[in-house]
Amino acid sequence: MDARSTTLLVIGGGPGGYIAAERLGHAGKKVLLAEKEFVGGTCLNVGCIPTKSLLNSAKLYEHALHSAQYGVTAGDVTYDWAKVQSWKSEVVKTLVGGVTQMLKRLKVEIVPEFATLVAPGVVEIGGVRKTADHVIIATGSVPVMPPIPGAKDNPSIVDSTGLLSVPEVPKRLVVIGGGVIGIEFASLFAALGSEVTVVEMMPEILPFMDADLAKTARQSMPGITFRLKSRVEAIEGSTVSFTPEGGAQERVTGDLVLMAVGRRSLVDGWGAREAGLEIDRRGIVVDDRMRTNLPNVWAVGDATGRSLLAHAAYRMGEIAVANILDPEAHLHGEVMRWDTIPWAVYAMPESAGVGLTEAEANRRGLDVATVTVPLVLSGRFVAENGLSKAGAVKLIAEKGTGIVKGIHMLGTYAPETIWGAAAVLESEFTVSDLRQIVFPHPTVSEGIREAVWAIRV
Ligand code: FAD
């Protein structure tokens, strides 16, 4: 018999929930993790990982198609969608298996059942009532299906999960929504030869990205037709009717339509409201320690609606655990710092950023200096891409103090580089601090160094 008393109960086995369970397991706590569908959650099973696996295959295909420019001649370059799919499944299986094994090693009890919150410290799992000192909620999010006429029960419309496993590459794909999920799929299928149209209501794609870089990113995707400032009004079969601002209604037809207008936190169906959890338009309301309004009930990840990113979910899980284990942890910095969560888009071209955009800095009334440098200043970027591919770094710093407020990158390796930029913002480095950092050469990250010497604060 396990000598440890049940102290922790986690609802949801995605990045937020499993990292919390892992950290608690490491601390020697007895943990029970309820997961109704799949360990690894959205991210490992139908989100981050399968999309990156498919995108990697598409990037390899595109590289091979254009390899002659770099002196490498490939024969008949083709792709085999069935093999691309089975590689994706193998990757997912390997990673889900790894997380499951790790949790088992830490003696986390995984219960493959639906859980309902009854009251603080009381959860029903698969109909069995369990008690715990603390409950961590990590129920995640689900795709939004807007009430557009013709959208409901339309077999031509898929969400991201449906599109991940289509049996063949659609010849024509219409993507509704130019956010990160829409753009990654648009990029993937355009690279594989689909005729892709993105219909987006906003004036620019990727609305969280600095507007200048988002525009450059869009212009660097010539294989995709973008219809901006366009409101979708109806869908009939696979024909989407939309009206561009100030224009007349138009139609575009695909073999498939991807609905990618966003995701919403999963706060219904598991007792949240009945138990008295405070919920706002984003999701479960939490403070910067991930506490909810109920005692010893914590919420992390997409369920809070504060940041719909896996690494944000990880950090929220860690913050909750740190504050459960040590009520004074918040005094030692264990709080969420929402402004320094980086984001990344793995489209072609890739991009990433952290901190304020120029528009957000202006909205907050900050007096900032900005500079944008092209990545052709990076030797490695030119060696690997030539001069025709888009790439840039935009730096935003406060005038006077010189404190770096935002770093945004467009170009290869941006998602790999951006954690360093996040460290810069976390540490409140100034431009002159950053000038003292030695960057390896030749790297694409040297674009940041170029920007830091070009800015005038
Ligand atoms: P989830 O991963 O959604 O996990 C929640 C889990 O809770 C699920 O497994 C669910 O079955 C379970 N659950 C829910 N209710 C109950 C209940 N009542 N009882 C028991 N179990 C329950 N993020 C990135 O950072 N990088 C990316 O590249 C990226 N790509 C993405 C691509 C796509 C197509 C999608 C859809 C998402 C992507 N995301 C990406 C977002 C990322 O997947 C989420 O931010 C992340 O999964 C959130 O983790 P979570 O633990 O909060 O929730």
Q: Could you tell me whether strands 157-158 and 141-143 are parallel, antiparallel, or unpaired per DSSP bridges?
A: unpaired
Whether the CB of 36 sits within 6 Å of ligand 1: yes
What is the whole-number distance in angstroms between the Cα of residue 40 and the centre of ligand 1? 8
Query: 234: how many CB neighbours lie within 10 A of its CB?
Result: 14
Buried b (16+ CB within 10 A) or exposed e, 40-52: bbbbbbbbbbbbb
**Coil/strand/helix, residue 311:** helix
List the residue whose alpha carbon is closest to atom 38 of ligand 1: 47
Which pLDDT value is given to residue 356? 97
Q: Which of 9, 19, 35, 48 to mutate to test the pocket of ligand 1 (most atoms within 8 A of CB)?
A: 48
* pLDDT tens track for 398-445: 999 999 999 999 999 999 999 999 999 999 999 999 999 999 999 999
| pLDDT, average across residues 154-181 | 97
* pLDDT tens track for 184-203: 999 999 999 999 999 999 99
Report in angstroms the alpha-carbon separations of 288 from 121, 218, 298: 21, 35, 11
From 26, 66, 332, 441, the catalytic residue: 441
Residue 2: is its pLDDT beyond 60? no
* pLDDT tens track for 33-42: 999 999 999 9
What is the whole-number distance in angstroms between the Cα of residue 73 and the centre of ligand 1? 41
- Whether the predicted model's global pTM rises above the 0.85 cut: yes
Of the candidates 106, 102, 112, 111, the one whose C-alpha atom is nearest the C-alpha of residue 132 is 111
| pLDDT, average across residues 329-344 | 97
Q: Which DSSP letter does residue 136 get? A: E
pLDDT band of 6, cuts 50, 70, 90: low
Residue 455: is its pLDDT beyond 90? yes
Which pLDDT value is given to residue 7? 83
> Which atom of ligand 1 lies at the shortest distance from residue 37's CA?
11
Buried b (16+ CB within 10 A) or exposed e, 125-135: beeeebebebb
**Coil/strand/helix, residue 110:** strand
Domains and CATH numbers, the chain: 3-143+264-338 (3.50.50.60), 157-261 (3.50.50.60), 349-454 (3.30.390.30)
Of the candidates 121, 85, 105, the one whose C-alpha atom is nearest the C-alpha of residue 26 is 105
Residue 5: is its pLDDT beyond 80? no
Alpha-carbon distance 123 to 126, whole Å?
A: 10
pLDDT band of 63, cuts 50, 70, 90: very high
Our answer to whether residue 441 is catalytic in this structure is yes
Is residue 341 within 8 Å of residue 312, measured between CB atoms?
A: yes
The overall average pLDDT reported for the chain is 96
* pLDDT tens track for 387-407: 989 999 999 999 999 999 999
What is the whole-number distance in angstroms between the Cα of residue 137 and the centre of ligand 1? 12
| pLDDT, average across residues 333-342 | 97
Of the candidates 28, 34, 32, 22, the one whose C-alpha atom is nearest the C-alpha of residue 4 is 28
Q: Which DSSP letter does residue 438 get? A: P
* pLDDT tens track for 10-59: 999 999 999 999 999 999 999 999 999 999 999 999 999 999 999 999 99
What is the whole-number distance in angstroms between the Cα of residue 140 and the centre of ligand 1? 5
- Please state the separation of Cα 93 from the chain's center in Å: 20
Q: Quote the tokens at residue 111.
A: 């219960």
Q: Which of 56, 116, 139 to mutate to test the pocket of ligand 1 (most atoms within 8 A of CB)?
A: 139
